[in-house]
Amino acid sequence: MSMIAIEHLTKTFPGASAVTALADVSLSIESGEIFGIIGLSGAGKSTLVRCMNLLERPTSGSVRINGAELTKLPERELRKARQSIGMIFQSFNLLDQRTALDNVCFPLELSGMSRSEARKKALPFLKLVGLENREKAYPVQLSGGQKQRVAIARTLVTDPKVILCDEATSALDPTTTQAILALLKKLNEKLGVTVVVITHEMTVVEQICDRVAIIADSHIVEQGVVADVFHHPKTAEARQLITPKGAISEKSRIHGPLYRITFDGNTSDQPVVSGMVLTSGAPVNIWYADTKDIDGKAHGQMLLELPKDPALVNKMLAFLKSQHVTYEKEEAEYYG
């Protein structure tokens, strides 16, 4: 049974001009996996994550977490079910007047646990996120990454089955982002907690997620294993997230056909482009190149302008095929 099962979920915000933020969304997320939901601003991803714990109540459809159908629970039972769902926000949401340790204790105290028992339970979680020496520090004395670690410890202290991360690294610098993502992956492996990552950054998904769903215009347009979506994007929305628009300057002149080639973890260390050039005896133009680390292997994408001569193009493509390199013809206008 899936840890999270969303079926035909729709969310419409009423008003003079009603807005449908989510339309017929269905997702299945397995226990213990890290699942990414990615989309551009306004796509509906934050509304989706808030519908998962019913902070936003869906207009229609069902949300089942850990076997409980949340949309059908009375308010008292819903509050109890939410105790197994942790949430990490972009803005940390720490209480300024409380120390790091007291912030972690806060949800335990709200549930009726004594202060001494709460502190006893909270301390190991501060240690787990690497802040055992900062328990007496107030939020103003902590860096952004440390604040997010406190927020993660506060989420973990309630023993959740699921952690929902809503743009949890968007306010952090790149180095701190890497550290927080590594921490989330470590916690997932150590505790077996299911993690849902909401983001607009493909690099976040590539670093820690097992599977990903792409949301655009209120719909899920594509989903699958991260490496598969990266290598074989089926939709324009996936393409835009993987190889963004603007990769080629509008002032650039492209005369030959444009191809996107994709390297998997088995071919990324091979001199494929130089081999193709040597085999065909003709040069190519590299307009865009990027390398990612997915599951510990280097994966890459390139946009290449090939010669205008069809015979040379066929020779180059035959070489790529012989090297088991995925390629696809692209329209230059999309990337400009």
Burial label for 16, CB within 10 Å (0-12, 13-18, 19+), is exposed
Same domain, 109 and 258: no
Give the pLDDT of residue 194.
95
- Nearest CA to 60 out of 27, 26, 24 is that of 24
Give the pLDDT of residue 324.
83
Least confident span in 17-26, 192-201, 295-304, 310-319: 295-304
Task: Among 235, 269, 296, give the residue marking a domain's end.
Answer: 235
The predicted model gives 232-253 an average pLDDT of 69
Domain that holds residue 228: 4-235
Give the pLDDT of residue 229.
84
200 pLDDT band, cuts 50/70/90, is confident
172 pLDDT band, cuts 50/70/90, is confident
Burial label for 104, CB within 10 Å (0-12, 13-18, 19+), is buried
The token duo for 5 is 């099962």
Give the pLDDT of residue 5.
95
**In this structure, what DSSP letter does residue 156 have?**
H
Separation CA 56–CA 22 (nearest Å): 11
Give the pLDDT of residue 117.
93
Characterise 246 by phi-psi region: left (phi > 0), alpha (psi -120 to 50), beta (else): left
Query: What CATH number is given to the structural domain containing 252?
Result: 3.30.70.260
If one compares 69 and 238, the residue with the highest pLDDT of the two is: 69
pLDDT tens column, 113-142: 999 999 999 999 999 999 989 999 999 999
Same domain, 182 and 74: yes
Q: Own/partner pairs for 18-23, CB < 8 Å, 24+ apart?
A: 20/218, 21/47, 21/218, 22/47, 22/48, 22/51, 22/58, 22/218, 23/218, 23/219
Same domain, 218 and 286: no
Task: Among 235, 269, 297, give the residue marking a domain's end.
Answer: 235
4-13 vs 85-89, strand pairing mode: unpaired
Same domain, 69 and 206: yes
211, 176 Cβ separation under 8 angstroms: no
Least confident span in 188-192, 246-250, 281-285: 246-250
Task: Among 235, 266, 293, give the residue marking a domain's end.
Answer: 235
pLDDT tens column, 76-96: 899 888 888 999 988 888 999
Separation CA 143–CA 189 (nearest Å): 26
pLDDT tens column, 32-58: 999 999 988 888 888 999 999 999 999
If one compares 233 and 316, the residue with the highest pLDDT of the two is: 316
Same domain, 40 and 67: yes
Q: With 90 as the cut, is the pLDDT of residue 98 above it?
A: yes
CA atoms within 13 A on the CB side of 183: 25
Separation CA 37–CA 205 (nearest Å): 8
174, 138 Cβ separation under 8 angstroms: no
Average pLDDT, the chain: 86
Same domain, 231 and 262: no
Give the pLDDT of residue 228.
83
Q: With 80 as the cut, is the pLDDT of residue 266 above it?
A: no
Q: With 90 as the cut, is the pLDDT of residue 214 above it?
A: yes
Separation CA 165–CA 34 (nearest Å): 11
Burial label for 253, CB within 10 Å (0-12, 13-18, 19+), is exposed
Percent of the chain with pLDDT over 90: 45
Domain count, the chain: 2
315, 279 Cβ separation under 8 angstroms: yes
Same domain, 93 and 111: yes
- DSSP string of 115-146, one letter each residue: HHHHHHHHHHHHHHTT-TT-TT--GGGS-HHH
